[in-house]
Structure 1
Amino acid sequence: MRLAATYLVTFTFIWLEAVGFTQAANAASDAFPGAEGYGKSAQGGRGGAIIAVTNLEDSGPGSLRACIEAAGPRNCVFRVGGTIKLKRTLIVRSENALVSILGQTAPGGGIVLTIERPDKKGKNTLLGIKGTNDVIVRHIRIRPQLPNTVKNVDGLVIENSQRVYVDHVSVSWATDENISTHADATEVTIANSILAEGLNKHSKCTLLGSDPRAPQKLTFLRNLCLSNNDRNPDNNHYGQSCIEIVNNVFFNARSEWAEIFSQFPGGTPIAYAGNYFKAGPSTNDLTYAIRSKDAAMVAEPQIYQEGNVTWAPPSKTIVTVAPDTERFLVSSPPCALSVTAIAPAAKAYHDVRTRSGAFPRDSLDRGWANDMGPEGEKGDGKMVSEPGQIPSMDTGAAYRDDDQDGMADSVEARFAAKPGVNDAWAVTTPDGPAHFDEFMEWLSEERIAGRYPQ
């Protein structure tokens, strides 16, 4: 298999010939080995360019923005770690589809996105995925540093897009939602992420049903919503949607946990399975884990719930289903669950506490995991009105990649790849994943384990 390389400034573009690209694309249809949920078919930059992010500037050659705004299938591979101070929103648009942002490649403490000064045009959301398709985002921290007087600051927004997979991100201090989907966002998975400390007075974890125009397919899986006042999560969808909230931990909400509106034709169909709702210091004395909202209801929701657990100290109570919501319960999921291996809520609690968020974890994520406390025991935490400090980070040294295929030369043989050869998209077996996909999933697990290749 012959590869042709093209170089532009500090970026390296590695393209496979048409035959090789087709072979690699057909070899593995999942976003990455082990991907789950409705977003698992996201292709990201599979088969395309390997673009090195070589600096922490807001824009220009070698920046993350330059990689995101490029065209064609591509993979943003970080050769530097640290904090990127944005001047305006990073946006993946229709012309920038087919991109993977692979934060697990960053050396040292990884990558943080922040914004410190309000944009005059109000473009203060840090990362937007808008009107596009096939986007993968992994192991990125998103921490705006704007006061709560600056409205509508989301951490990450997925809008009018399909086949999107967000995995192992950590988002905090938004003045709107930490993560949200808007309009016709479908075939989306948000997984293994920490969504913490949305700023009061508008402290929100996630809004998954914001002004849709058609049925959607959304998976919210193994995430931690911590110390957000409400929208843990908020859902509002058309009938015939497939919405699944599986194996998440919702900790220290104040007034509202899962909120279900039903303001679109057909009513919201939704499944909650194996989630853990845990009261914290900020939680009201009486709350309801799953509650339907009557406001502007046009049809009855269909709510399935199974294996969900609530825990509260003796002074507080969480009722799993609000009494006025019980009439909307159904005996089976409105859609067959796309996540087939659902863990018991207690195991999900452990998994989320030890494996959610971007890795390597910074002191903030470690602190929030500690705040949860052990399963079945009292935790800590608080609501906040101002952003905290972003910890200083070790920049580290990137792994050696002399053949510029995005993989560490030192471990390529593990995946049957050849050091010195640009063979990112070659496959070992006709139906197997490409070497690059295997390496990136291995590297994700290595980062979770606290290791990084040389």
Structure 2
Amino acid sequence: MSGIIRLKSSLVIGDDSNSVSILGQTAPGGGILLTIDQTNDELRHTPLVAKQTHDVIVRHLRIRPRLPNSVKNVHAAVIENSQRVYFDHTSMSWATDENVSTYSNTTDITIANSIFAEGLNKHSKCTLLGADPRVPQNITFWRNACISNNDRNPDNNHYGKSCIEIVNNVFFNARSEWGEVFSQYPGGTPISYVGNYFKAGPSTVEKTYAIKWQNVESAGQPQIYESGNVLWAPPSKSLQLLSPGTDQFVVNRPPCPLAVDTLLAAGEAYEEVRGQSGAFPRDDLDVAWIKDMGAQGERGAGRMVVAPGEIPAIKEAHAYGDEDFDGMADSVEEKFGGVVGVNDAWEPASTDGSMRFDQFMEWLSQERIAGRYPK
């Protein structure tokens, strides 16, 4: 199956549906897109919600709500009160609140290799990673692109003893606020910014800051570690790393060990994000947003928007052959130690001890990114 799925209400991965994988790399043709384009009486307008669940994987999925900016509290995706959730190679846009957010006691979360673009003004936000928690959290935001969102690029507000890491991302064309750090919970937010590229664009105000402590109802002092971050702005604008008063909370080592084991220089991360982020194959929107970023050290394009755009058509195609219904393509099953005609995807693979199905899914993801699949 491939194409546009027009939901009437939120698709919820709930407490009775844990250990769920939505693997868009298996879709033929141009892949899968979720949208909601009409209101409902229950006000469930966020296309994808993971709520009170655990062990969830979402990959190669586009999520683009298409509701006017007068409809409040529309996210593309929300992770609420959940554990061990992994969003990878997704693309989200046109939310009237954050494009993606975590809420409540949500921990052990990774959001990676994704594009979050054009949140709708007047409440245009990239991501809120700490909303109303009651416990420490572990959250990794890694190799993503936040493009043409007003603020919350990202927004963080966590308990002490959390492990929050913002690593190797590109933050482009924010308007007024970039990385915002609140300290409204006991202990203050511990956070690491490593190897990110902050780039001003046409919509960016004349003077702003990449990392800003927000002294609002503070209950503790944040611990802010920063290393290897790069900033670029055209001559007419000023983008500085730390806002006044933020430097007093900078520490000389990460508040907790980084979970990311492969760190890139910010320039390398910029190229990695340009070439590898988002759901593949990229649709025309993602292609345009990545083009807006432009080359390092050069002006980009982009704009703030107040209404959703049009969703490009998604190419249809036949799914790969799988006569034994084990989820693996018969044409390459032997590559992973499987036997065509036998439902054996959950046996150990021929190398490294992981399951055949897992190895096949990772291979399939890489094939899509490289443009070799689907054909």
> TM-score, length-normalised on structure 2?
0.99
Task: Give yes or no for the alignment of 1:356 onto 2:277.
Answer: yes
Q: Post-superposition shift, 1:323? A: 2.4
Match of 1:110 among 28, 31, 45: 31
Aligned residues: 375
1:139 is matched with 60
1:321 is matched with 242
Matches within 5 A, 1:433-444: 433-444=354-365
Deviations 1:16-39 (A, max 9, x none): xxxxxxxxxxxxxxxxxxxxxxxx
Deviates more, 1:408-417 or 1:172-181: 408-417
Letter of the structure 2 residue corresponding to residue 381 of structure 1: G
Conserved 8 A contact 1:236-1:262: yes
For residues 327 and 166 of structure 1, what CA distance do their matches in structure 2 show? 33
2:163 is matched with 242
1:222 is matched with 143
Matches within 5 A, 1:291-440: 291-428=212-349, 432-440=353-361
Conserved 8 A contact 2:349-2:359: no
Q: Post-superposition shift, 1:453? A: 5.5
Tell me the C-alpha RMSD between the 2 structures. 0.9
Q: Post-superposition shift, 1:250? A: 0.2
Q: How many percent identity over aligned positions?
A: 63
For residues 111 and 429 of structure 1, what CA distance do their matches in structure 2 show? 31
For residues 119 and 319 of structure 1, what CA distance do their matches in structure 2 show? 43
Letter of the structure 1 residue corresponding to residue 78 of structure 2: V
Conserved 8 A contact 2:29-2:374: no
Letter of the structure 1 residue corresponding to residue 35 of structure 2: T
1:6 is matched with none
Moved over 3 A (4+): 428-431
For residues 446 and 270 of structure 1, what CA distance do their matches in structure 2 show? 34
Letter of the structure 1 residue corresponding to residue 268 of structure 2: K
Conserved 8 A contact 2:28-2:374: no
Q: Post-superposition shift, 1:428? A: 3.2
Conserved 8 A contact 1:273-1:308: yes
Specify the SS of the correspondent of 1:277: strand
Deviations 1:400-439 (A, max 9, x none): 1111111110011111111111111011359611110000
For residues 374 and 10 of structure 2, what CA distance do their matches in structure 1 show? 32
For residues 432 and 296 of structure 1, what CA distance do their matches in structure 2 show? 50
For residues 408 and 231 of structure 1, what CA distance do their matches in structure 2 show? 41
Deviations 1:13-70 (A, max 9, x none): xxxxxxxxxxxxxxxxxxxxxxxxxxxxxxxxxxxxxxxxxxxxxxxxxxxxxxxxxx
Conserved 8 A contact 2:164-2:191: yes
Deviations 1:143-185 (A, max 9, x none): 0110000000011000000000000000000000000000001
For residues 322 and 305 of structure 1, what CA distance do their matches in structure 2 show? 13
Match of 2:16 among 95, 98, 113: 95
For residues 63 and 101 of structure 2, what CA distance do their matches in structure 1 show? 13
Task: Give yes or no for the alignment of 1:258 onto 2:179.
Answer: yes
Q: Post-superposition shift, 1:109? A: 0.5
Deviations 1:221-268 (A, max 9, x none): 000000000000000000000000000000000000000000000000
For residues 256 and 287 of structure 1, what CA distance do their matches in structure 2 show? 7
For residues 396 and 340 of structure 1, what CA distance do their matches in structure 2 show? 37
Letter of the structure 2 residue corresponding to residue 425 of structure 1: W
For residues 376 and 429 of structure 1, what CA distance do their matches in structure 2 show? 45
Specify the SS of the correspondent of 1:169: strand
Conserved 8 A contact 1:410-1:453: no
For residues 185 and 275 of structure 2, what CA distance do their matches in structure 1 show? 38
Conserved 8 A contact 2:75-2:99: yes
Q: Which runs of 5+ in 2 are unaligned?
A: none
